[in-house]
Amino acid sequence: MPCERGNMCINRFVVISGCSGGGKSTLLNELARRGYATIEEPGRRIVRQELLGQGMALPWVNALGFARRAVELALADRAAAAGAAGWVFFDRGLLDAAAAVQHLTGEPAFARLGQVHRYHRKTFMAPPWPELFRTDLERRHDLTAAIAEYQRLVRLYPSLGYEVTFLPKVSVSERADLVLATLAR
């Protein structure tokens, strides 16, 4: 049975979402270190690629083009991860990208995508962590914009039937232990 049509991926694909600078990527690095498959955030990969070329799909140049590309990349990530065994952890993913499209256009894109391409029902949300938040070449938005996006995501996931676990502000090792223990229940 193909992964996208069956429950196999739904039960293995886990989203780590939340606020920019909240420690998501660091958590995924820890999960990868422990041997789990991880998928890097689509947005970071797009920005790196765009900075090497013409830079037309950068969020600060063309936010909608960037968000639509993130949707495409997230769909490709899901397809590529279908062959991975065990848990597959996504740094953001399809729902985050579709939520950005909806925010920018008013199109209810996430509702359709969110129903067709499900993830594990337990999702993890990294809250704002101002002490960790930094801008860089790939992340140029400020903490206020990051918190606004976080608030949209906090509403989105439960509206699509996901159980959200908020990650505490603890060490990365403790966060990884919490994620794995929550999924084991």
According to DSSP, the residues that pair with 30 across neighbouring strands are none
- What is the extent of the structural domain holding 172? 7-184
In a domain, residue 2? The reply is no
* Residue pLDDT, tens place only, 25-72: 999 999 999 999 999 999 889 988 888 887 788 878 888 998 999 999
CATH number at residue 12: 3.40.50.300
In a domain, residue 15? The reply is yes
Q: Would you place residue 6 in the very low, low, confident or very high pLDDT band (cuts 50, 70, 90)?
A: very low
Please tell me the predicted confidence (pLDDT) of residue 166: 98
In a domain, residue 121? The reply is yes
Mean pLDDT, residues 162-175: 97
Q: Would you place residue 90 in the very low, low, confident or very high pLDDT band (cuts 50, 70, 90)?
A: very high
Q: What are phi and psi of 37, to 5 degrees?
A: -75, 135
Beta strands in the chain (DSSP E): 13-18, 37-39, 88-91, 122-126, 163-166
Q: Which residue has the tokens 């976080």?
A: 150
Q: Would you place residue 24 in the very low, low, confident or very high pLDDT band (cuts 50, 70, 90)?
A: very high
- Return the SS3 of 2: coil
Q: Determine the Cα–Cα distance for residues 130 and 177; give it in Å rounded to an integer.
A: 23
Q: Give 92 or 139, the one with higher predicted confidence.
A: 92
- Return the SS3 of 17: strand
In a domain, residue 1? The reply is no
Contacts of 94 (CB under 8 A, 6+ apart): 71, 74, 75, 77, 78, 113, 114, 117, 119
Whole-model pTM: value is 0.88
Count of domains in the chain?
1
Please choose, from the candidates 14, 13, 63, 16, the residue with its C-alpha nearest in 3D space to the C-alpha of residue 43. Answer: 63
State the Cα angle at 119 between 115 and 123, rounded to 5°: 115
Please tell me the predicted confidence (pLDDT) of residue 109: 65
